[in-house]
Amino acid sequence: MRLSSQLIKDLANFDTKGSTVVSLYLNVDGKQYIRSQDYQREFDSMLKRAKSQIEQNPLAKKDIERIYSFVQSPMDRSKVRGIALFSSLDANLWKVVELPVPVQNFFIINTVPQLRQLESICEASEKIAILNIDRQRGRVIVFELGEVIESQEVFDELPRHEDDKGDWERDHLQDHKAVLAHKHIRKSAQLAFDLFKKYDYEHLVISGSDDVVAELEKELHSCIKDRIVLRANIGISSPSEEYRRLVEKAEEKIMRTSHMKLIEKIRDKAAVGTGIVTLKDTLGALSEKRIETLMVSNSFEKPGWRCPNCTNLAEKGPICSVCGSDMQKVEDLIEEVIQEALHQSCKIVTASESADLDCLGGIAALLRY
């Protein structure tokens, strides 16, 4: 099943009548988990972590069995990088949502589906159009959440057979062809604008040879010109995977920009006390449930401590500063922070290779107040 805002609404309004609902977010991204055993192993360790949760909810046992056999069964991951799954045998609920983006692994038993990550993905999703052009053909494809939602083409054939003509005729034909090609480029620009009016795409990728693209950019409406995020040159007849790769490249660029903006915002907010840029302050804000958006570097790992009594997390143990209990050592404090933030329905943004975030120490947050 594909993600849509309607699907989120349906799940939010689903009447579970107080039954147990198991929500699972599983990252199945082929870039991170090459073999299926790799993400299946992750799922096993999620179940181990959730041991006490499961013990407290014996009704969820059958749901977990059903989810387990789903995770063990073969999955086509060519377009799927994340799975969101909601199961309640009692309430007759079984929804598997295939996502074109990776997710944070998360498992929770509750009485309602946990929709936070789906909402974040939906909110962050922006439409991307590709305008691919040569002198005869122009194609516009609009993508949303990794899927093609529209594809249109214009074709303006150029006259051929100039070799058997004399000089004058050949020059004349060349001029004529240039005029036709220009008309074609204008038509393609118009098609991109028409589809912009229809779909309001946020980003545009332009593909074509340098001379055609230069001519095209002169013809593009200024409001879509501002949306150009990437320039490339793949042939019009390229297979769909090639187009998809171009979209992925654009997405990476868009993501990097949005991460930079978020860091800037956190830095600004830090000056007025609602932005946080250290692990110590993040831990404090987390225990006070004040975090709205948590930003973490993918490569950030650090051992630490967790309080089994009040779930407080700390860099240093062994005594909990909140309740005075003995804390337990944890291998990766940052993963614990992410899991706790997910339980609190915070928005999580993970960044890889963000020099700005690494400069801040790998973790930062925006606070609710």
- Binding positions for Zn ion, rule: CB under 5 A: 307, 309-310, 312, 320, 322-323, 325
Give the nearer residue to Zn ion in terms of CB position, either 209 or 309. Answer: 309
Give the nearer residue to Zn ion in terms of CB position, either 207 or 287. Answer: 287
d(CA 170, CA 66): 72
**Cβ 84 to Zn ion, closest distance in Å?**
31
Give the nearer residue to Zn ion in terms of CB position, either 258 or 325. Answer: 325
**Cβ 305 to Zn ion, closest distance in Å?**
10
Give the nearer residue to Zn ion in terms of CB position, either 87 or 312. Answer: 312
Q: Tell me the two tokens of residue 334.
A: 């940052």
**Cβ 221 to Zn ion, closest distance in Å?**
59
Q: Tell me the two tokens of residue 250.
A: 């654009």
**Cβ 313 to Zn ion, closest distance in Å?**
10
**Cβ 64 to Zn ion, closest distance in Å?**
28
**Cβ 319 to Zn ion, closest distance in Å?**
9
**Cβ 338 to Zn ion, closest distance in Å?**
19
CA angle 203, 205, 206 (to 5 degrees): 140
Give the nearer residue to Zn ion in terms of CB position, either 178 or 323. Answer: 323
**Cβ 129 to Zn ion, closest distance in Å?**
51
Beta carbons within 10 angstroms of residue 122's beta carbon: 15
d(CA 31, CA 354): 18
Give the nearer residue to Zn ion in terms of CB position, either 299 or 309. Answer: 309
d(CA 168, CA 174): 10
Give the nearer residue to Zn ion in terms of CB position, either 132 or 287. Answer: 287
Give the nearer residue to Zn ion in terms of CB position, either 4 or 325. Answer: 325
